[in-house]
Amino acid sequence: MDALYLMFVDPFVQMADAPDFFLQVLWEGLVSGVLYALIALGFVLIFKSSRIFNFAQGIMVVFAALTLVGLYEMGLPAWVSVGVTLLVMYGLAMCVERVVLRPLVGQPDIILFMASIGVTMFLIGFGEFVFGGENKVMITEALGIPTGAIELNPFDGFVLIEEKDLTAVIMAVLLVLGLLLFLNKTAMGRAIRALGDDPQAALSVGISLSQIWVLVWFIAGVIALATGIVWGARAGVSFALEVIAYKALPVLMLGGLESVAGAIIGGIAIGLLEKIFEIYWGQPLLGGNTETWFAFILALVVLLFRPQGLFGERIIERV
Amino acid sequence: MVVQTAARQADVGTSNVPGEETILSVNNIEVIYDHVVLVLKGVSLTVPRGGIVALLGANGAGKTTTLKAISNLLQAERGEVTKGTIEFNGDKVQALSSNALVQLGCIQVMEGRHCFEHLSIEDNLMSGAYTRKDGAAAIRRDLEMVYEYFPRLRERRRSQAGYTSGGEQQMCAVGRALMSRPEMILLDEPSMGLAPQLVEEIFEIVKKLNEQEGVSFLLAEQNTNVALRYATYGYIMEAGRIVLDGAADELRENEDVKEFYLGVGGEGRKSFKNVKHYKRRKRWLA
Ligand SMILES: Nc1ncnc2c1ncn2[C@@H]1O[C@H](COP(=O)(O)OP(=O)(O)OP(=O)(O)O)[C@@H](O)[C@H]1O
Ligand SMILES: [Mg+2]
């Protein structure tokens, strides 16, 4: 009886009792959620246009953040460092296209996946070689990211919103909106969607695979830099940053590998749910630290019932 | 549609009708799939500028392979041109990517239509303009032109292509190719899976595009009957070789063609190899 009460009644009683705290939990969940969504979007774009499950996305976050901080430490002004890091990510996209994707075109998916693991290993080695292996601090202040906190007082209680987190959310939302606009309103975006739908037909109308691949890997690089900055501002810049990208995996399982909407909704849903579960179920009942695995279990359960993910693109069939 | 320079015109070869200018010539090509399967065994054909040429033959004869060899789409299927040359407007084009070839004005409409099914009809059409650099205004003008040729596409322009009918998808595929401003369209089995009346409608539009926009066509068809009514010249393929060619009206009157491809006469299709009075032509030796 007692256990059942703790599981099914008490959490909701607490939510109702302290709605301001519940809002705080939602906010924290949202912060991670939008970042998961952003990263998942990077995965989806690469998968749709080249059928590669990009294992390197996580390490790209670390690599971008390391490059940014490293350049700043070498004496470049903060925003110049951002610009140069973007150039580096573009260079990386071109190298990946030239050295990995182009020679492997038409190979089985598993080979491409292995190739992306190769890219990961290269980036780990290269990053350590150039910038050293020790942890760094994100140049939050130099970039002008505010570090104070805003206090809100809903329901006569209070919610604390860190300005760092607010920056993260705003930036992620802007990037996601920007990407959606790009995909839906520009010729290049249309070509990315076309390639995802039917690669052969895309080739036949003259869509250049090389151009699109460089573009989507560059987009993934921009996403990596953005997440690296805001997540690095919370947790420092180290190879542990990689972990945030792996949180995109359950998002992809939930949202479907090919669905842009799935990535966004799935990312936010997982961010919110894992936080709520941690606070109201995980900590009181399971000793906490459930955030590391909750999302994966959730995704597995969903997959049992819907193998294509919650938002997998509807497969159009007609004869 | 592109203006030719005088120099370029000078070395353009002649086509099957003397005095006509050639836009495409395929010279004795061989195609191998997967490094071992020899599928085309020396195919030669020419298309005159402004012509409609039909490439006919039964299932597996090699029509699609020929078109893909021309448009450089074989690589994605692990196929390769191992012999022979392909010239478009007098330039050798085998080494080009499909992207470059589309920019030169030669585009393929693939067998089975291949629309981007999750994209709207209009997005499908616009994606055909990927290689163009002449500005949004010109592209919009051509979109209007496509809608004029295919009024049905205008009605369905917001629909997802995957949910439109087979006929609409075929129109969409042709319209999409038009958006690249081609001089030449390689059209693969436009009649596939369509009701006779729709087939007629599609071919009428092909004819109109040919006459009014000056687009040359090489069309692969199993539907010999319709194809030979609209084409000016025809090639018949069998097992990776051209076994017969001639002006369309001659082919229509040819006894063998009548018997084997037009369904006139008795015993159903046989191979040309079994026909006594047929002699295989080796055009490239002539
Ligand atoms: N990717 C491939 N790998 C190996 N063999 C292939 C491949 N594509 C086609 N072939 C073979 O090449 C031959 C010619 O095929 P092709 O598709 O060119 O014929 P087709 O004349 O277009 O036939 P259809 O009228 O059925 O479309 C066939 O025997 C086919 O099995
Ligand atoms: Mg075919």
Cα–Cα distance list, A317 to A27, A306, B118, B163 (Å):
41, 18, 11, 9
Question: What percent of chain B lies above the pLDDT cut of 90?
Answer: 62
CA distances from B73 to A268, B20, B66, B107, B111 (A): 41, 28, 10, 11, 12
Ligand 1, atom 18: closest residue by C-alpha: B62
Classify residue B61: in a domain, yes or no: yes
Domain that holds residue A255: 2-305
Beta carbons of A204 and B78 less than 8 Å apart: no
Confidence of residue B2 (pLDDT cuts 50, 70, 90): very low
pLDDT at A115: 87
| Total of domains in chain B | 1
CA distance B117 to chain A (A): 7
Q: Which of A81-90, A131-140, B92-101, B136-145 has the lowest mean pLDDT?
A: A131-140
Residue A289 lies in a domain: yes
Contacts with B180 from chain A: Cβ below 8 Å: 205-206
Rounded alpha-carbon distances, angstroms, from residue B265 to B226, B232, B250: 18, 24, 17
pLDDT at A312: 58
Q: What CATH number corresponds to the domain at position A126?
A: 1.10.3470
Q: Let me know if residue A318 belongs to a domain.
A: no
Residue A319 lies in a domain: no
**Confidence label for B108 from pLDDT (cuts 50, 70 and 90):** very high
Q: Residue B32: is its pLDDT beyond 90?
A: yes
* B16 falls within a domain: no
With respect to residue B98, please indicate whether it lies within any of the assigned structural domains: yes
- Residues of chain B positioned with their CB less than 8 A from the CB of A208: 97, 99, 130
User: What's the whole-number mean pLDDT along residues B75-80?
Assistant: 84
Residue A312 in any domain: the answer is: no
Task: Specify if A56 maps to a domain.
Answer: yes
Give, rounded to a whole angstrom, the gap between the first and last alpha carbons of chain B.
Answer: 32
Q: Domain containing B130 — which CATH number?
A: 3.40.50.300
A134 is written with which tokens? Answer: 């020790």
pLDDT, residue B149, reads 93
Q: Which residues of A touch B124 (CB under 8 A)?
A: 194
Q: How far apart are CA A5 and CA A1, in angstroms?
A: 6
A171 pLDDT higher than 50: yes
d(CA A121, CA A63): 11
Domain that holds residue B47: 22-254
The model's confidence at residue B266, banded by pLDDT at 50, 70 and 90, is very low
Please give the single-letter amino acid code of residue B122: E
In angstroms, the CA A56 to CA B120 distance is 33
Return the pLDDT at A35. Answer: 86
Per-residue pLDDT tens over the stretch B206-235: 999 999 999 999 999 998 889 999 999 999
Q: Quick: pLDDT tens for B163-215.
A: 999 999 999 999 999 999 999 999 999 998 889 999 999 999 999 999 999 99
Is residue B275 in some structural domain?
Answer: no
Q: How many CB pairs under 8 A join A and B?
A: 88
Residue B267 lies in a domain: no
Q: Could you tell me if the ipTM is greater than 0.85?
A: no
How many structural domains compose chain A? Answer: 1
**In the predicted model, what is the mean pLDDT of chain B?**
84
Poorest-confidence range of A48-62, A210-224, A305-319, B91-105?
A305-319
The pLDDT score that the predictor gives to residue A105 is 76
Q: How confident is the model at residue A314 (pLDDT cuts 50, 70, 90)?
A: low
Residue B147 in domain: yes
The answer to whether B200 and B226 are in contact (CB under 8 A) is yes
